[in-house]
Structure 1
Amino acid sequence: MIQRKTQTSDYWGNEFTITPDDLQYLSTLLVEDELPRSAVELGDALVLYRCQQEEALIERAMSQGTPYQPQRSYEENEQVVFPALGYRVGKVIGIRPGSNPEYGAFQVIQVEFESGRKREFAAELASDHPLNHEPQASAVEDADLRSPEELIELYGTQVGDKLGKVLESEPDFICLAGKWFPKDLLIKVHIGHLNLAEAALDISGGGPSPTEDLLGDLELPEEISPQLRAFSLNYALQEDERFDEVGPAGEVLWFLRRLEPEAVQSTPLHLQYEPLEYDPASLTSEMSALEQQLDDEWSDIVEPDEVTVPVTVVLTYPHWKSGTLCLSKRLAHVFPTGRTHRIRFTFIDGDTGEEMPGWVVRERRYVYGLDEWYRKRDMLVGTYLELKQGEKPGTVVIRPRSRRSRREWIRIVLPVQGQLTFEMRKQLVACDYDELMIVAESDPQAMKQVWANVHERGLSLGRLVTEIFPELAKLSPQGTVHAASLYSAINVVMRTPPGPLLAELVANETYVPVGDNYWVLHSSPDGF
């Protein structure tokens, strides 16, 4: 049987490399079809191409000479084909008797290949040998061979993955929305076309608009396939800083960058986090479990294997103030994913059905679009929010965990002479909340001054803990402060994840753990 490399896993694995000939073939294929394709689709095409190449090579080689088999006899000047050597063709230039008692009488032929290299091979060998099986000229005649379609099923994905990495380093190919096409063969989209696209988006409030909606006014050549027209326009829009691609995975949507919300273009003040160095090893397992539970977007925690739906999150002060939600590893499962830094989607109020525009800001780990909704629904810091994916793609259903409104004693933050103080007051609460995290703001304008004061003075996390811990401790008869309450309070004036805060408590002998993540001041009676 003729040996075909394409039938082996080694060929498609470590041995497989993308050649310039492969890239030329794929470029021609893309141009002929006028259809941009994904790396996986191109990988499938490449598997088929390699199979066709091998069959063509076999047929050409087999027509040039006698297939080599050790059992055969050969004559000088006879052309011989060596399937095991990649179907190389050589000419017999000498014959001599072989000498090996183990194999009995046989001949040795000397063969010269086209490269000029000479090698010797056994002939008229009586013993059995794998190469003595009669070769077939065509793959179709061998029922044991896998078809190209079967090989695509087995190896297409891994070939596509390898091809994708190669294409990323090829300046002649460009990728948009997961599709590839030769750069030099795109339709010319000039500045006039782009100005028309900007005007169309401006009329629609900035977007988002699919490429197809923008194409209608541009009058690109009709003889070109719609897919290539869309691809060419997408590339031109991508290269123009006026436009922002904001579609979720599998969908291309465009938005005018200048009309995007300010909180999408730059990080809101209360979400700005300067990483703080600390030793995670200093945290106990109990503290690490709390950090996992708090699920801060800047915590370096393990991504959960499974996420219970709906996902419940506790609203923290920085996000309440900014009209955002954290994009933590757990909550990220709910929101649309995509290739771009910003993704436009739709929030749906799970109680009223109201739709609200939302933005996933991936690189800065937050989701924007809830400022008005928080105020309308009388949300407080510490409110439990439940989220799940909507029935329609690109939608997320959000609702507060409901309960009857009533007046309750909760923590109120009071700015006094530029510093934070806390006290307990009765206030109407409309939603279920985390008792450890709840905080209400009494004077928003004064809070702005406190925030500015803290950052102008460059107060450290340790200094803030020193100032705020006693304020929280006075609210408890035992003088205890839960780490989650301190985390919630500190984030009123400084953005920090739980890790550095917990490490500060551990490192400072002023604070003493009393179990279940509660702490007391060392000077208090309960601290001994």
Structure 2
Amino acid sequence: MAGVRTLQTLTESFWRDEYVVSAADLDLVTGQILEAARPQRLGALASTIILRRMQAEREAVTRQAKQGDLYQPKGHYEVGQTVVFSALDFQSGRVVGLRAGENPKYGPFNVIRVAFDDPPVEREFAADLDVPHPLNVPVEELVVSTDSAVSEADLVRAFEHYVAVKLEPVLEEAPEFVRFDGQWFLRDLLPEIHVGHLNLAEAMIDEAGHPLPAREMIAELELPVTGSREAQLFALNRALGEDSRFDNVSTADDRVWFLRALVPEAVYERPAVLEPAFRAQGGEYIGLTMLDMVEEIGDELDDVDAAAVLRDSGSVRFELSFPHLYAGTMPATQSLLRMMPPSTQRYYPITLVDARGKKRFDAWVVPEERYVCGLKEWYTETGLTVGAEVTLASADEPLTFTISVAPVRSRRRDWIRVATVAEGDFSIQLQQQAPPPVRADQHMLMLVPDEEAIVGLMRQAAEAQLSLSAMVRSTFLELAKLGGTVHAKSLYSACNMLRRTGAVPVFAELTRRACYNPVGDGLWVYSPDLEGTVYRDPDEMRERPLSNREDTVRDQAIQYLGR
């Protein structure tokens, strides 16, 4: 409203540029915590300060306005009278002159001359002018100006961040305040948590063999009864968080604790065999028929972060690669993570239930590393091998999933690829073997009698920085010795015994290099005379114009944008 003062506490510029935390603000924060008798979030403390500052400024302006008559054009004033002007930041002045106004448009009215002290100046204002005017409104509306379209709650939400970022470092420096997990409390109100309590908490978790919430442990710890239940929880959670033996593994506001000594090492350090060498970037050209293979394999390295994952079927399926088999992990693809609750923790536990034997066991989701660890024992007991088809499905209980594999009906011996290291080189041979006890993709399937030898080979390849093209070529030629043609999934499976790679980088190499020719059903052949030649556009990748093979099939090349 024109001519009406806007309180500075209602402006963004004040909180952003001018506000400074005062001793009175800290007293207010202390009082709020004392009154609530429980920890308070920083945002709630900031909101309290904003509301109190707004109220204080309104009260100050109201007191200032009462020092004299509030000026309005319709008002009548006499010489010697003190008048307060809302449009002049509530300056007061003394009427020193009065004369008749001259304006036929408004009829009779007066003009007062007012003397101000700071700075010393005299100005004239209309009086006895009862016409529509922004200042001819009820007096209470002149004290402050607010935007009726913006509520006080909206203003608090808009300014809360500015106060919070200034308040937080002050609270951190003040010894009387303590913080845990975004909440603040008073140190003097904390019940004592000593080493005996922490040792007992460690024993409780160790005996349970699974994470325990702080609320469940409190009853057994016999904490001092002083203070509220919330204060006890705050003190216990804070003490557990400062003790290196414990890890917070919760996915919700209720803190859940586990022992670092009981979780797999892969929770804290990515296994070397899972170190990505080649992953999908998005935009690579691959054959249209390869998209189904990428989906079936379910490799986390084929996720493209910018891709929108629209599916939420409640289950995921993947085909086990050697690195995951060896590390006892499974891919945490975007599709799998969508089945999990959001969490800010580095890792958190889930319960897996074997669909056949109903055995329950803990596994650990490590979202940033994109894998789930803790499956090594189950892999071994179930007889999984490279290429095994595994399905994970949501169960009725929170954070619980069934994990299943399909048994094979016949264990009749058959020719199966076996990966070994012969005289320091990667070797793949066909041997008559009994198939694994669970169903595996026939193209991915590969037995590995000496896993440590393959791991050593992967270490050497990483140290030598074996390139993608060199890896694909050498592996293709090794597989081609078994029958001439090589299936794209077999190539992916074998490449993952040299360096950790997604399927898309391998498939993109097949698609763009002229020396590889598709002959149908996912099979490819090698043409040594075209070694080093690269197709540059999707039409060439489809037509394979340099191929002299009559059995070459044409597969539309498309840009990979994610699964």
Q: Same fold (TM over 0.5)?
A: yes
Q: Structure 1: which 5+ residue stretches go unaligned?
A: none
Deviation, structure 1 residue 132: 1.4
Deviation, structure 1 residue 468: 0.8
**Cα distance change of structure 1 residues 454 and 31 upon mapping to structure 2, 3 Å threshold:** same
In the TM superposition, what whole-angstrom CA distance separates every residue of 1:356-394 from its partner, at most 9, and x where no partner exists? 11212233222112222223333343344333443333x
Alignment match, 2:559: none
Alignment match, 2:211: 208
CA distance in 1, matches of 2:514, 2:40: 62
CA distance in 1, matches of 2:420, 2:191: 60
Alignment match, 1:257: 260
Deviation, structure 1 residue 467: 1.8
CA distance in 1, matches of 2:447, 2:70: 87
CA RMSD of aligned residues (A): 4.6
Q: Which range moved further: 253-262 or 438-447?
A: 438-447
Helix, strand or coil: the match of 2:435?
strand
Deviation, structure 1 residue 51: 5.8
Helix, strand or coil: the match of 2:135?
helix
Aligned partner of 2:322 among 307, 317, 325: 317
**Cα distance change of structure 1 residues 481 and 305 upon mapping to structure 2, 3 Å threshold:** closer
Residue 397 (str. 1) matches residue 401 (str. 2): yes
Q: Which range moved further: 435-444 or 368-377?
A: 435-444
**Cα distance change of structure 1 residues 157 and 359 upon mapping to structure 2, 3 Å threshold:** farther
Helix, strand or coil: the match of 1:464?
helix
In the TM superposition, what whole-angstrom CA distance separates every residue of 1:285-311 from its partner, at most 9, and x where no partner exists? 859957974554344433434332223
Alignment match, 1:90: 91
Q: Which range moved further: 91-100 or 338-347?
A: 91-100
Residue 495 (str. 1) matches residue 523 (str. 2): no
Alignment of 1:209-358 (within 5 A): 209-216=212-219, 220-273=223-276, 281=283, 283=285, 286=288, 293=295, 296-298=299-301, 299-314=303-318, 315-358=320-363
Q: In the alignment, is the contact (CA less than 8 A) between 1:386 and 1:400 conserved in 2?
A: yes
CA distance in 2, matches of 1:198, 1:32: 30
TM superposition score normalised by structure 2: 0.73
Alignment of 1:119-518 (within 5 A): 122-124=125-127, 125-136=129-140, 151-152=152-153, 154=154, 171-172=172-173, 176-177=180-181, 179-182=182-185, 187=190, 192-193=195-196, 195-197=198-200, 199-201=202-204, 203-204=206-207, 208-216=211-219, 220-273=223-276, 281=283, 283=285, 286=288, 293=295, 296-298=299-301, 299-314=303-318, 315-393=320-398, 395-400=399-404, 402=406, 405-407=409-411, 412-417=417-422, 418=424, 419-423=426-430, 427-428=434-435, 431=438, 433-455=440-462, 459-474=466-481, 479-482=485-488, 484-498=489-503, 500-502=505-507, 504-505=509-510, 510-511=515-516
> Greater CA radius of gyration, 1 or 2?
2
Q: In the alignment, is the contact (CA less than 8 A) between 1:248 and 1:344 conserved in 2?
A: no
Deviation, structure 1 residue 469: 1.3
Alignment of 1:35-114 (within 5 A): 35-39=38-42, 41-42=44-45, 45=48, 49=52, 52-53=55-56, 56-57=59-60, 59-75=62-78, 76=80, 78-80=82-84, 82=86, 88-94=89-95, 107=111, 110=114, 112=116
Report how many residues are paired.
511
Deviation, structure 1 residue 420: 3.2
Helix, strand or coil: the match of 1:348?
strand
Letter paired with 1:378: G
Q: Structure 2: which 5+ residue stretches go unaligned?
A: 531-543, 549-563
In the TM superposition, what whole-angstrom CA distance separates every residue of 1:436-471 from its partner, at most 9, and x where no partner exists? 544343443543444455446554443322221123
Q: In the alignment, is the contact (CA less than 8 A) between 2:339 and 2:394 conserved in 1?
A: yes
Q: In the alignment, is the contact (CA less than 8 A) between 2:328 and 2:374 conserved in 1?
A: yes
Letter paired with 1:236: A
Q: In the alignment, is the contact (CA less than 8 A) between 2:354 and 2:360 conserved in 1?
A: yes
Letter paired with 2:70: P
CA distance in 2, matches of 1:117, 1:348: 85
CA distance in 1, matches of 2:84, 2:444: 83
In the TM superposition, what whole-angstrom CA distance separates every residue of 1:406-428 from its partner, at most 9, and x where no partner exists? 35868533214141315476643
Q: In the alignment, is the contact (CA less than 8 A) between 1:106 and 1:126 conserved in 2?
A: no
Deviation, structure 1 residue 162: 5.8
Q: Identity across aligned pairs (percent)? A: 25
Q: In the alignment, is the contact (CA less than 8 A) between 1:411 and 1:423 conserved in 2?
A: yes
CA distance in 1, matches of 2:92, 2:52: 30
In the TM superposition, what whole-angstrom CA distance separates every residue of 1:77-109 from its partner, at most 9, and x where no partner exists? 514262x67xx5321145567999697666365
Helix, strand or coil: the match of 1:80?
strand
